[in-house]
Structure formats: structure tokens, C-alpha cells
């Protein structure tokens, strides 16, 4: 059974429609990230699931029970869902233990049971020794773990997290990313994790829902988003993807197609139901391009516009194509030397034909 099931969800604020026909089915114990640009509707979707917003049409079910529809709205406190906010939402005047236990107290749980649950939850997030401290005396990462412990103590089987690492520095983000993965493994909870950081989303999630302008444009495994983006938006959003036009796309079987790209014949991956197209969009990543010998075929001529040192590799920005106006990016293993203006020959190792809309999957 799905932990969260969303169908045909629309949500507007006044005249502005923020969510359009959102449909998602999230399995029990699954870790789902929601990724998308600022303002695309991620937080609104989370607030609808949590019950902080009513919905205009469609329905949301939690563990098979209807919680939201236009004429039915279960209040947030009756949904059994924990929420971790970007700003942690801790009570500053309470100790760590009091913060974690507060929800249990409100629910009327006897003191001894409450204290045992709180201690266990704090142990799980490795804050057992911090029970008597106040939030002001904790680091940002520790405060975030208190917020997680609060969800654990409530025994929330579903935890919604709204950009929980957004306020933390890069170093701490890395450490807490591992913390979330551990939390998920230990608790077995269903996680719905909003972020606009794609590295975070791809690293943590079993599946990622990519949102754009209030719609889910793809809901898939991280590797599928990277290698088989369903739309130009996803292709451009994930892994510095580049989208360019190809001509004479012709399926050749086994999930591959031939095409003409920048005047050269190339072999690309494609959907099994790809049809012949006079032209279409293809996508690839900087790592899919390679430098070739001067007159190697097939290959493209290009010139370097910029080269930047990135530690293990050199990033080169190029202009290619007959009129030198198609921008490409290429990673070259260090040590390497490329200078602006230099002419190079480039080959495409791997690319993907973006399916036309009719071939797109439904979630």
C-alpha cells in the first residue's frame, strides 16, 4: 500500500494556480526528494500533504485513508505526519528534552512513558547527552537533529522535511546528509524531502519528483533522471545537462537511434517507443564529451572560450557547430592545458533523445 497517494491535485492562491494536476504515489518506507526551482510549488505541496492547506480539487490519501479532498479535510494533528521545517521550529525556552517531549505531553502520554520515548529518540539522533541544553546552546546541525528526534518520538511513520539543510554551511550539510540517510535506515519511515539542491536530492532519494511551474515533470530513480530525462527542463536541470537540436532521428533497435548532430552522424540512446523524427532535442552531460585527435571522425570542431581549473579536472567551455554558436561544456582530466581561442576536435560518447510529450510516462 502507498504511504502517500496524491491524485489530480490542484491548488490556487486567489487567481494564481500554484499546483496543477499533481499525481504521486509514494511507497511505505520510501525516501522521496522533491526537486525544483524556487517558486515551483514544493512547499505548497508539502503543506497540502501535512494538512496546513486545503486543496481545490483531487485527493490525498495517507496509508489508504483519505485525508484531503475539496469536501474533506483532516486536521494536521490527526494525520500522523511529522514535519521538519527549515528553521527547525524549536521552542527557545524549553530544553532539548522538553522540545522533543512536547507533542507527547499534549497528546496526554503519562510522564514515565514520555520520558522513555524522548530518551530513546534522542539516542537515535545521537543527542543523548544534550537533553538538558536549550536550543540556543546547540549548533545548527544539532538543532536539526532535535527536530528529527521530535518526529521520532511521535513515532511518525511519515516525515515531511522542507529544505532542512538550507540554513547550514556546506561542511555541515555533508555530515547531516549522512545523518538523514541513517535516520531513514533506522526508522524505516517514509520521507518526503524538499530541496532545491540536486546533489542532495540525487544522493539521498530512492526516487526524485522534479517539479516545474506547479507540475511534476518526472518522478523517477536518480540514475533515470540523469540518463533518461523526460523533458528538456529535467535534462537541463540535472547534472549540468546540455540540450541541443538533432536532425533525422531514426530508431535502430535496442533502445538506440541514429541522428545527425552538428553535421555529424551519431548514435544515441532513446526510449523503446521512440519513432523516427525529422528533428528533436537530445541531451548529454559534460562527462559525455571527449577530446579527440585533430581530424578524428566522427567528431565536431569547436573552439575554447574559457577553461577553468576544478581540481581533478579542467572544465572547458566551447563553441561548436557550423557557425560556431552552439555552447558545449567538457571536462578534461587534469593535468591538461586548454586556452581560450584554441581549436579542438570533440566526440560525443553518450547522449539521450528526449521523448516527445506523447511518449512521456504518467506517474
Ligand X SMILES: Nc1ncnc2c1ncn2[C@@H]1O[C@H](COP(=O)(O)OP(=O)(O)OP(=O)(O)O)[C@@H](O)[C@H]1O
Residues contributing to the site for ligand X (CB under 6 A): 13, 18, 36, 38-44, 196
Q: Strand pairing of 326-333 and 313-320?
A: antiparallel
Closer residue to ligand X (CB): 41 or 164 = 41
CA–CA separation, 45 and 180 (whole Å)? 21
Closer residue to ligand X (CB): 11 or 242 = 11
Q: Strand pairing of 256-261 and 300-309?
A: unpaired
Minimum CB–partner distance for residue 70 and ligand X (Å) = 18
Question: What string of DSSP letters covers 282-324?
Answer: EEE-GGGEEEE-TT-SS-EEEEEEEEEE-SSEEEEEEEETTTT
Q: What angle do CA 220, 221, 226 make, to 5 degrees?
A: 90
Closer residue to ligand X (CB): 13 or 323 = 13
Closer residue to ligand X (CB): 212 or 350 = 212
Minimum CB–partner distance for residue 313 and ligand X (Å) = 30
Minimum CB–partner distance for residue 31 and ligand X (Å) = 19
**Residue 187 · residue 31 · CB < 8 Å:** no
CA–CA separation, 214 and 196 (whole Å)? 14
CA–CA separation, 230 and 84 (whole Å)? 30
Grid coordinates representing 203 are 544522493
Closest CA to 318 of 246, 262, 247: 262
Grid coordinates representing 250 are 531514426
Closer residue to ligand X (CB): 219 or 284 = 219
Minimum CB–partner distance for residue 221 and ligand X (Å) = 22
Closer residue to ligand X (CB): 192 or 300 = 192
Minimum CB–partner distance for residue 16 and ligand X (Å) = 6
123 membership: H or E segment, kind and range: helix 111-124
Closer residue to ligand X (CB): 38 or 78 = 38
CA–CA separation, 44 and 276 (whole Å)? 40
- Phi, psi at residue 356, to the nearest 5°? -70, 155
Q: Strand pairing of 31-35 and 190-195?
A: parallel
Rounded to a whole number, what is the distance in angstroms from the first to the last CA of the chain?
A: 16
**Residue 222 · residue 209 · CB < 8 Å:** no
Minimum CB–partner distance for residue 43 and ligand X (Å) = 3
Closer residue to ligand X (CB): 87 or 265 = 87
Minimum CB–partner distance for residue 174 and ligand X (Å) = 21
Minimum CB–partner distance for residue 42 and ligand X (Å) = 4
Amino acid at each position: 500500500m502507498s504511504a502517500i497517494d496524491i491524485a489530480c491535485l490542484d491548488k490556487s492562491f486567489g487567481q494564481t494556480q500554484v499546483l496543477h494536476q499533481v499525481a504521486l504515489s509514494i511507497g511505505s518506507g520510501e525516501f522521496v526528494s522533491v526537486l525544483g526551482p524556487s517558486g515551483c510549488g514544493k512547499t505548497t505541496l508539502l503543506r497540502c500533504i501535512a494538512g496546513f492547506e486545503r486543496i481545490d480539487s483531487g485527493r490525498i490519501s495517507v496509508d489508504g485513508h483519505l485525508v484531503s479532498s475539496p469536501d474533506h479535510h483532516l486536521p494536521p494533528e490527526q494525520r500522523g505526519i511529522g514535519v521538519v521545517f527549515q528553521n527547525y521550529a524549536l521552542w527557545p525556552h524549553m530544553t532539548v528534552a522538553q522540545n522533543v517531549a512536547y507533542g507527547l505531553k499534549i497528546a496526554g502520554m503519562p510522564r514515565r512513558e514520555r520520558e522513555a520515548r524522548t530518551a530513546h529518540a534522542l539516542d537515535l539522533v545521537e543527542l543523548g547527552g544534550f537533553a538538558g541544553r536549550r536550543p540556543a546552546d546547540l549548533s545548527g546541525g544539532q538543532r536539526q537533529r532535535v527536530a528529527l528526534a521530535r518526529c521520532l518520538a511521535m513515532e511518525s511513520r511519515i516525515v515531511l522535511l522542507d529544505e532542512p539543510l538550507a540554513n547550514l554551511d556546506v561542511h555541515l550539510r555533508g555530515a547531516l546528509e549522512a545523518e538523514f540517510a541513517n535516520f531513514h535506515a533506522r526508522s524505516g519511515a517514509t520521507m518526503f524531502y524538499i530541496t532545491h539542491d540536486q546533489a542532495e536530492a540525487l544522493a539521498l532519494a530512492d526516487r526524485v519528483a522534479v517539479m516545474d511551474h506547479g507540475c511534476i515533470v518526472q518522478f523517477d530513480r536518480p540514475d533515470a533522471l540523469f540518463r533518461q530525462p523526460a523533458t528538456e527542463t529535467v535534462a537541463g536541470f540535472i547534472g549540468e545537462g546540455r540540450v541541443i537540436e538533432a536532425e533525422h532521428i531514426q530508431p535502430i533497435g535496442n533502445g538506440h537511434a541514429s541522428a545527425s548532430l552538428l553535421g555529424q552522424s551519431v548514435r544515441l540512446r532513446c526510449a523503446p517507443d521512440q519513432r523516427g523524427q525529422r528533428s528533436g532535442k537530445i541531451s548529454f552531460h559534460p562527462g559525455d564529451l571527449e577530446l579527440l585527435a585533430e581530424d578524428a571522425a566522427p567528431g565536431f570542431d569547436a573552439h575554447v572560450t574559457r577553461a577553468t581549473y576544478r581540481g581533478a579536472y579542467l572544465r572547458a567551455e566551447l563553441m561548436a557547430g557550423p557557425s560556431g554558436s552552439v555552447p558545449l561544456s567538457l571536462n578534461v582530466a587534469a593535468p591538461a592545458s586548454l586556452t581560450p581561442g584554441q581549436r579542438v576536435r570533440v566526440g560525443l560518447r553518450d547522449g539521450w533523445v528526449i521523448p516527445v510529450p506523447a511518449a512521456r510516462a504518467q506517474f
